[in-house]
Amino acid sequence: MVFLTAPRSAYPEAMALLSIADGDGWAEAVGRSFYPLALERANTRFTASIRQTALGPGLSVAEVSCDANDLHRTRRMVRDAPNDDLLLLVQLAGESVVTQRDRQVRVRAGCATLCDPLVEYKVTSGDASHQLVIMLPRATVRSLAFPVAELRLQLLEPRSLSLRALTAICEEAVSQGEVDPIEAESIGSVVTDLARSLLVAHTRGPVRSHSREELAAHARTLIRDNHADPTVTASAIAAALDVTLRSLTALLHDDGGPSAMLRSARLRTARGMLADVASDSLTIAQIAARSGFADQTTFIRAFKREFGVLPSEIREQHTLVVPG
């Protein structure tokens, strides 16, 4: 059950305090405030609260308090309810454990970590957990020269001045409730700059493999895991590996080069979605976007060149198949 314990402000930037009295209400409130997550565990006397403030398009900060619970961003949710924002979790009190693919991080009070809603993940929060949840447009990290996969689930430590400043500003913004739209835009700009500074300062050191084979293998892994992100380019992969684009192209020469590998991986993903009945509700443009293509026209042209048929023809082929 979700209760609005304060009237909604006349300002669209301010959000009423949501008080949650049970697990079902918690899942509903989280989905309304951020994006859909499934509740897997909560005690029978569970309570929580969310107070959120918007600071610009796609940028918001929320103060979250909750009892112990497990939230799961499932594969189905990633597929059916994609979200192009990134979630920066700052632990104010208590502790949370976040698991996403091959990584797990224990976030203690004062620390933070970045979650990607385009990848399945799970958050386990302990008793009396108190957090700031900052929703950042993916474009915030687009020019950092690091793929999102290189940034997600790093433990961001409180020794960072950027993190301490970011925490203080976000706490103050949420506590104000009503924020003038012009002031909110200015605060949002500061929050974005601090978040970028924080992520740059905490990026892992350059990957220095002991051999060309190991470096090439890591590049293939980055492409495999991140091709569906349209902001990932051959240059971004090269920067993540601390090599020049020319060196990366030479390393992956036998595979066709990094750009061709990204394009091929995206086309294979798109073809699989076109032939999957679970994706029938998606338009061609949506499938293109979820496969990593920035625009539909480029996608259709590349698809026809690769497979000799149009994306719509692949969809028609599988819809015309009569079972039995």
β-pair type (103-108, 48-56): unpaired
**CA-wise closest residue to 137 among 180, 196, 187:** 196
Q: What are phi and psi of 96, to 5 degrees?
A: -135, 150
Residue 5's pLDDT is 44
Domain 212-319 has CATH 1.10.10.60: yes
Q: Where are the domains of the chain?
A: 2-202, 212-319
Q: Supply the angle between the helices 161-176 and 181-202 in degrees, to the nearest 10.
A: 160
Q: Calculate the CA 143 to chain-centre distance.
A: 16
Q: Tell me which long-range contacts 273-276 makes (C-beta under 8 A, separation of at least 24).
A: 274/311, 274/314, 274/315, 274/318, 275/314, 275/315, 275/317, 275/318
The residues, any chain, with a CB within 8 Å of residue 305's CB and separated by 6 or more, are none
Write down the architecture of domain 2-202 according to CATH: Sandwich (2.60)
Residue 160 has a pLDDT of 83
- Compute how many other C-beta atoms are within 10 angstroms of the C-beta atom of residue 32: 14
SS3 286: helix
Low-confidence ranges of the chain (pLDDT < 70): 1-16, 142-147, 203-210, 242, 318-324
Q: What is the per-residue pLDDT for 324?
A: 47
Dist. CA 276–CA 270, nearest whole Å: 10
Q: Check residue 102 and give its pLDDT.
A: 73
Q: How many CB atoms lie within 10 A of CB 119?
A: 20
- Rounded CA-CA distance 284/274 in Å is 8
Per-residue pLDDT, 213: 85
Q: What is the dihedral of CA 190, 18, 92, 11, to 10 degrees?
A: 20
**Alpha carbons 87 and 264: distance in angstroms, whole number:** 29
